A = this chain, B = another copy of it.
Amino acid sequence: MKPTFSVRLRVFNLNCWDIPYLSKHRTDRMQRLGDFLNFESFDLALLQEVWSEQDFQYLRQKLSLTYPDAHYFRSGLIGSGLCVFSRHPIQEIIQHIYTLNGYPYMVCHGDWFCGKAVGLLVLHLNGLVLNVYVTHLHAEYSRQKDIYLAHRVVQAWELAQFIHHTSKHADVVLLCGDLNMHPRDLGCCLLRGWTGLRDAYVETQDFKGSEDGCTMVPTNCYVSQQDLGPFPLGIRIDYVLYKAVSGFSICCKTLKTTTGCDPHNGTPLSDHEALMATLYVKHSPPQEDPSPAHGPPERSALISVLREAWTELGLGVAQARWWAALAGYVTVSGLFLLALLCALAVGGGAREVAMLLWTPSVGLVLGAGAVCVFHRQEARGLCRAQAELQHVLRRERETQDLGSEPHLAQAD
């Protein structure tokens, strides 16, 4: 039996842009972030792009009195970059590493090496079970020609599935992070639709901060016009999302963002803007709890989003298979070339040329072989997510045919 009460939660979220050797004024920004978090004393501070474990340890030590519990989510070669500082004891921890996360040969983008993930913390506050998720999805490097769109949609689906399956016992669900998606992007609609999470920026009555809630703005001196692409006034890609299950209600009393400047010193804490939300959770009888994902229009919208995601992943599969086939042909051609070079070297005529071409040919065969293997694996990963989406759509059709309560009414 849950008690009748109201709990206030003050939450901080920031993509810290803490990349060793690459990010500007790293040490100074981390120091000021620590001071700010200590000064504000939030219930939870959720950070992304902390790609230096030393910086996490520095913050952990600095914040140890105000935030006694902390966790760094390790993954991939560099790390997920995710960490969390909590005023309340963290009861349980688990993380899920996304199965698709860009391409290893796109070294300049580097997402593949990070092992992007979602971390889950379970907190117990006055008998309330609170599931807090923190994540960072694959970056969008070009809006016009987004080669990572299918991967981001799969990540959004995996995130939604992970939340759906791990939060069935929770009273309140909170998701913070850098989704690298605009509010109306397919992945964002899929995530909100499948989990029933609500957007703090849309829901709050009291918003203060950057125009349209943008979290990358041109007034931030670390942001270039190139980063904003076709949105020179800014983009909103960082979020605080939440929901409460039947029996509880949650509302966002206030939401603030930084506006390209540090709240105290005038220079930004990061290239992203921080989000600061004050949430209130209270006990509410089940019948009074209006859940936005239960009506037929919402269900119909969700089905259309699921279908769109399925189609998008289909395009991704075709693309991945095309690349795998191309790399396969190159591998075979490289093998023929190697055989030819061997013959030339043995024959004697162009021996030196043959030996000079030997190394690049071996490289070609191995490289193309690896690319072929990688894209075959990618196609399989995309097919897997597609099969899950197809299963949901089939279940919904069957349930509708039977005329019973639709299966998709699962926001809580």
Interface residues of A (CB under 8 A from B): 71-77, 79, 89-97, 99, 115, 120, 161-162, 165-166, 168-169, 352, 355-356, 358-359, 362-363, 366, 373, 376-377, 380-381, 383-384, 387-388, 391, 395, 398, 407
Contact = CB atoms under 8 A, between A and B. Distances in A.
A349 to B, nearest CB: 15
A165 B94 contact: yes
Contacts of A376: 77
A198 B363 CA distance: 52
A382 to B, nearest CB: 9
A391 B388 CA distance: 33
A391 B71 contact: yes
B94 A377 contact: no
A388 B92 CA distance: 8
B165 A391 contact: no
Nearest to A79: B380
Given A93-B391, A388-B93, A407-B91, A377 B76 contact: yes
Contacts of A74: 380-381, 383-384, 387
Contacts of A79: 380
Contact of A380 (B76, B162, B380): B76
Nearest to A97: B99
B165 A92 contact: yes
Contacts of A89: 395, 398
A150 to B, nearest CB: 15
Nearest to A359: B359
A377 B71 contact: no
A101 to B, nearest CB: 13
A133 B366 CA distance: 38
A352 B387 CA distance: 55
A75 B120 contact: no
A387 B71 contact: yes
Given A165-B92, A165-B166, A166-B166, A356 B355 contact: yes
A52 to B, nearest CB: 14
Nearest to A96: B96
Contact of A355 (B73, B352, B391): B352
Nearest to A95: B384
A402 to B, nearest CB: 10
6 contacts: A73-B384, A75-B384, A89-B395, A362-B362, A362-B363, A366-B366
